[in-house]
Structure 1
């Protein structure tokens, strides 16, 4: 897998160690030399468009918002938007050329709503939970928690009012810092739409014959769900280790379901139908699940 594909599938941001594990040190260095990667901190990289979004917002005298603001704050997302989301005051004129470069949003922001070139962490999280599809919103909420923003999320949930507040509270309650990446978050968002399925990220499963920490586990139904990619195996040794682990789990009476990035991200309805069949429910039914915030 090439470096750009790896960082895209990691949510637009990745560490040097993650990129080297999935590709090679030489590949990462070549991508940096070509300008295909941007260094945004010590050992931390982003797609060039992430930095370009901030420069574009600054040039147009606006502020990054929604997914673009989340990336600016260092939170991984389901997919990097093709155009940056930029918010402008309601009465400010945005040049026609500028409107072609960004997705325009309108809001009159106060001083506390802004953090540098982007909306504040609290407002960004609130707007993402309120406005984005469930899977995108959950991926950002999980990422925010992974990066230590549990107090930010709690303030959002305590203060949210008005239209969409129920959705904000629901997704905020489902957020879990244990999700390793947006791939797992989107998989869990699909699971949450399956009646009777209750999964926990990175739950340890152990017996006399196997020790494992799968991506998602429904302990009551003895179901293990793995978000499978050669990228996450890292190498042949990691691949062999995972295959043996799946066999041991199956021998111990667990149902092991494995889904690829392409299916989870591009064929979520198919993934949901497979999950429904696995637990014997009608795939036409829906039941959003709500769980506790996990720091």
Structure 2
């Protein structure tokens, strides 16, 4: 049986009861909360542990919750939760070695409109993540922020255009690729991997072709390539399996190449995903692709 913690992790480390209900029982959620396996953020919203610790550390440092800790607070989906609470404090604050051991402290100038109730605002959270985190982590936050409508694409682009100083280019890159149509971190990470393979795939691509209509997670109509992020959370029952098999078969019959990747492949076996995206179409053209990389044994996070 799938645990509540694993289900929430696959859903982006934060989930509402409506998102959890198809996969776990209310009793299982209550038990997981009582055991400390997940945190109840608010009514019917849950997350992997760590947010309350961030609030305590922010208060102790006279700062605010920021970056991934703030993203989880706002309900944004993240690729991985922060290993330690992430907080931002004024530049005048003195950070000691002991501070660094218990949380990630960043020294920043914070204006009155950059935070509220001890947490950076949604827009400031996206900007901070874009400046300071890896591209795929920042893009997961930005995609989720746009999807939630707490941040608009126009506001993010405007801030990115005005940005100067360290990592301004990283912020503009995130603003350029952020897309509210992305369904979650798994799909965003898959899109980032594709970009590294020189494939700029469109999220939630609608395909209408001579009687065929389908919406695929990612696609390129010029290449007739459809790429699906097959998370267990969205394909966990027989009806969903039957529906998706029919859709994939129709796409193949109409001349589309369909690649399907699991959560484990996207998040834990990146080499294989890159191999598929780099060499897709070679076999169809009669060119033998290289041998695929062997998977590296890794433990899936709880």
Once the two structures are overlaid, the 10-residue window that deviates more, 98-107 or 204-213, is 204-213
Question: What is the alpha-carbon distance in structure 1 between the residues aligned to residue 122 and residue 196 of structure 2?
Answer: 28
The structure-2 alpha-carbon separation of the partners of 1:86 and 1:242, relative to structure 1 and needing over 3 Å to count, comes to: same
Question: In 1, are the aligned partners of 2:10 and 2:233 still within 8 Å (CA)?
Answer: no
Higher relative contact order by CA 8 Å / sep ≥ 6: 1 or 2?
Answer: 1
| 1:249 paired residue among 244, 248, 251 | 251
For residue 233 of structure 1, what is the aligned residue in structure 2?
235
Matched, 1:259 2:244: no
The yes-or-no answer on 1:153 pairing with 2:160 is: no
User: Mean Cα displacement is larger for which, 135-144 or 81-90?
Assistant: 81-90
The CA distance in 1 between the partners of 2:232 and 2:121, in whole Å, is 36
Unpaired runs of 5+ residues, structure 1, are: 284-295
Residue 52 of structure 1 aligns to a residue in which SS? helix
Instruction: Give 2:12's aligned residue.
Output: 11
The CA distance in 2 between the partners of 1:25 and 1:122, in whole Å, is 33
Q: Supply the distance in 2 between the matched residues of 1:162 and 1:89 (Cα, whole angstroms).
A: 18
Q: Normalising by the residue count of structure 1, what TM-score does the alignment of the two structures yield?
A: 0.86
- Residues 48-102 of structure 1: CA deviation (Å, up to 9, x unaligned): 3123322232233222222112222221111101101122233423465443210
1:290 paired residue number? none
Q: Is the partner of 2:265 in helix, strand or coil?
A: helix
Question: Which consecutive unaligned segments of at least 5 residues does structure 2 have?
Answer: 291-302
Alignment length, in residue pairs? Answer: 282
Deviation larger for 33-42 or 55-64: 33-42
Counterpart of 1:22 in structure 2 is 23
Mapped contact 2:138–2:174 kept (Cα < 8 A): yes
User: Following the alignment from structure 2 to structure 1, what is the Cα–Cα distance between the partners of residues 231 and 109?
Assistant: 43
TM-score (norm 2): 0.84
The offset of 1:278, in angstroms, is 0.6
Partner of 1:48: 49
- Structure 1 residues 110, 209: CA separation in 2 closer, same or farther (over 3 Å shift)? closer
Specify the SS of the correspondent of 1:109.
coil
State the partner residue of 1:201.
203
- Summarize the alignment of residues 98-177 of structure 1 with structure 2, pairs less than 5 Å apart: 98-148=99-149, 149-150=151-152, 151-177=154-180
Contact 1:115–1:121, Cα closer than 8 Å, also in 2: no
